[in-house]
Each structure stands twice: as structure tokens, then as C-alpha cells.
Amino acid sequence: MGGVASIPTDPSRKVQVISAGYSRTGTVSMSMALAKLVDGPVLHGGTQILTRDDDYCSTWIKAYEAREAGDKEQTLKLVRKATAGFVATADLPPSDFIPEMMELYPEAKVVLVRRDPVKWWNSIATLTGRTTPWWLSVIVAPFPGWRYIPAFASVYSRSTLRLAGLDAKNASPIELIEKGGPRKSPALYSNHLLTITCSQTF
């Protein structure tokens, strides 16, 4: 993570910690800390998407599509494939699949990293503004992995709003932070959840 994607070498290792905060809530710092604390490869979603191959990136896109189609078995199969061998996860896409992750790794601990909603919104808006222009798909098409960025931006947006029970017209940063992500299904991880606040990030 942090510019170099972790690659698992032992597929039998299981996810022990799930960092459930949205992007721009210190996910890289959390990944680096978990790599030392849990002693193994950590799946930082953003780094994986930017540096892995087409097969890996398309696995997550297919997982989103399977979930939207209501195919739970296929969704779990794809999430397991994408997370096999990692000891911890952070950032999207894994944080978009908390119920599925908890079903696959019921002993995993969930760390929900929160951030001031307005500061988070300002930060994430800058990032999403760079991943949603209409011409981006043309520019990144020749590059493995990167060519999936526009598709990820689309499924992230739909998923985030769905998890929060909102639509694009009435979404607000406070509601996304309070209602989205792991807060949508607390019964799944009530005995596994640690909440911390991120006060210093960009």
C-alpha cells in the first residue's frame, strides 16, 4: 500500500481486520499500521486498483454487478477471490462489502474510522472530480487496471448512496458519514466494532 500494492503469497491466510472508513479517512495510514500489527499483506483498495492487473480490478467490478443483480453466492465468491491471502483490508472496494466480508470472515474485527463530515466531503469531492470527467475513459483505456477507474467511480457512487439509503439529489456529507458504510447493518459486527476518529488527514 502507499503506492505499492501488497500481493498475498499464502492464500490460506484470512482477513483479521476490516478498516471500514470511507476513502479519505486515513486509509493509507491505517493500512501501513495494520501491515505491522497483523504482520501480513494488507489490501488497500485504492492502491490495488491503481497498480494491479485487469483480472484483479474486474473481479471487484463483477462483485458489484453480482450484488446489484441479487446474486449473493456469486458476490461472495468474487469478494473471497479478491481478498484471499490478505490479513486486513482498508478503503474501497472492501469497505463497500462489509456484510459480505463479515460473512466470509466472521472472526474479523471491524475498525470504523470517522472524520468531520464537511472536511471529508471537501476532500472526497476533489478526488471524485478527477475520476468522473467524460473523457477519462478514453485517456486510461490503454492502461491495465487504470481502465477500470471510470467503472469504479460509477459503482462506488451508486453503492455509497444505496448503503446510506439516499439518492444523488438529497445526499449530504453528514448523512453519508452517519448512515453509510458499516452503520447500515450494525447487527453483523456489533461485537467486533471499534470506532475511532481521524482528525488529521488530507
Tens-of-pLDDT digits for all 202 residues of the chain? 455 778 898 989 999 999 887 776 778 888 888 999 999 999 998 889 888 999 999 999 999 999 999 999 999 999 999 999 999 999 889 988 988 999 999 999 988 877 776 776 776 666 665 666 667 788 888 888 888 888 887 887 777 667 666 665 566 666 666 665 554 455 455 555 666 565 554 4
Annotate 60-102 with DSSP letters as a single string: HHHHHHHHHTT-HHHHHHHHHHHHTT-SEEESTTGGG-HHHHH
pTM over 0.75: yes
Question: Is 190 within the bounds of a domain?
Answer: yes
- Domain encompassing residue 121: 17-198
Q: Report the number of secondary-structure helices (H) and strands (E) in the chain.
A: 9, 5
Question: Is 7 within the bounds of a domain?
Answer: no
Question: Is 113 within the bounds of a domain?
Answer: yes
CATH number, residue 60 = 3.40.50.300
Question: Is 1 within the bounds of a domain?
Answer: no
DSSP structural state of residue 4: S
State the total domains in the chain: 1
Question: Is 28 within the bounds of a domain?
Answer: yes
Distance between first and last Cα of the chain:
17
DSSP structural state of residue 187: G
